[in-house]
Amino acid sequence: MSPKIHASFWSDPDVENLDSQKKLCLLWIITNPKINCCGFFNSSPRRFSFETGLPQEVLKQTLEALPRALKGFSDGTIWSVNFISHQFGRGSILRRNNIFRSIVRICDDLKHSELRHALISEYDEIMKALPSPSEGLEQRDKPKGEGEGEGEGEGSSSGKERGVGEEKPNPPEPVDLFQVEIDFRKKIISEIFHRRENTKWTDKEARAFNEFPAKCDITEFELVAAYYRSGAPYLRKDLQTLLNNWPGELDRARQWKANPASMTHFNTTTNGHTHAKPLTGSTPNNGF
């Protein structure tokens, strides 16, 4: 299936408190190709690392950071608790959705007792829709048109499902995970210059971004962002200049990380650059 990401995702308090690696991990959990309509899937830290480029331990850290929203099980199964409600709604909205029958069937056939219990505890709609033990497989597997119908028209020979004839909800739009990752990288460096998330990039900025920064690992974006927040010397003053000089700025960020004590927090601005006097009495390098 193709899950949808709501605009409110980024403003959720739990998401806002995550670092960039855990945010990307959460996006992977929601959008990875193995997830089903109930919001669970089975994977491994190795597969997670291969598909995201993040360290394997980030998956466990994300599960621990969001204990109410994510459940991890000993067999490698991961369940996004709010997946069903975010994708299909709750209550009557969920019951009228065409996908609800599949959700109930998956839950009824589920051999994972701990996960099954968690699902029906979270979603009362599923528990009420499950066949009673006395009905057994015979009732669930009756050919269409036999027995009682679901919802309105109970006892009719047509077995008409509730919601037939009603307007169907629009199918969720597919999520391009690659584009989600690109947008997330843009968000990190936009925040350096306090640019609003909905501010459109210029064509020049987009071209400069695609030439090199877009190919970098997410951890390198975090490093440059931390470097710029540190008040280190010779920081670029605007986004375009940073993008045009990305390789050099990434090298400077690595040098800063290796020896942050060599930087100072007393900055001055001249000629489009943010400068700072070195802590030592040496003359700063003018080679850029």
**What pLDDT, in 10s, does the model give residues 15-65?**
999 999 999 999 999 998 899 999 999 988 999 999 999 999 999 999 999
Residue 281 lies in a domain: no
Give the residue numbers spanning the domain of 235: 177-276
Residue 202 lies in a domain: yes
Q: Do 94 and 189 share a structural domain?
A: no
Q: Which helix (H) or strand (E) holds 13?
A: helix 13-16
Q: Do 231 and 187 share a structural domain?
A: yes
Residue 270 lies in a domain: yes
Q: Do 119 and 69 share a structural domain?
A: yes
Q: CB–CB of 274/237 below 8 Å? A: yes
Q: What is the pTM of this model?
A: 0.49
| Domain edge (last residue) among 172, 200, 224 | 172
Is 80 exceeded by the pLDDT of residue 157?
no
Q: Do 120 and 18 share a structural domain?
A: yes
φ and ψ at 239, to 5 degrees? -65, -45
| Domain edge (last residue) among 172, 197, 214 | 172
Q: Do 150 and 183 share a structural domain?
A: no
Question: For strand 40-42 and strand 273-276, is the pairing parallel, antiparallel, or unpaired?
Answer: unpaired
CA-nearest of 259, 201, 263, 198 to 228 is 263
Residue 146 lies in a domain: yes
Is 80 exceeded by the pLDDT of residue 140?
no
Q: Do 185 and 155 share a structural domain?
A: no
Q: Do 149 and 54 share a structural domain?
A: yes
Q: Do 242 and 105 share a structural domain?
A: no
Give the pLDDT confidence score for residue 263 in this predicted structure: 62
pLDDT above 90 as % of the chain: 38
Q: How far is CA 284 from CA 224, 237, 250, in A?
A: 20, 18, 18
Residue 122 lies in a domain: yes
Q: Do 158 and 70 share a structural domain?
A: yes
Q: How far is CA 232 from CA 224, 226, 257, 277, in A?
A: 11, 10, 11, 10
Reading the block at residue 102, the tokens are 């599949």
Report how far residue 215's alpha carbon sits from residue 243's, in angstroms, rounded to the nearest whole number.
12
Q: Do 201 and 146 share a structural domain?
A: no
How many CA atoms, within 13 angstroms, populate the side-chain half-sphere of residue 108?
A: 21
| Domain edge (last residue) among 172, 197, 217 | 172
Q: Do 163 and 40 share a structural domain?
A: yes
Residue 196 lies in a domain: yes
Quote the number of domains for the chain. Answer: 2
Residue 287 lies in a domain: no
φ and ψ at 43, to 5 degrees? -150, -175
Report how far residue 66's alpha carbon sits from residue 62's, in angstroms, rounded to the nearest whole number.
6
**What pLDDT, in 10s, does the model give residues 225-257?**
889 988 887 899 999 999 999 999 989 998 888
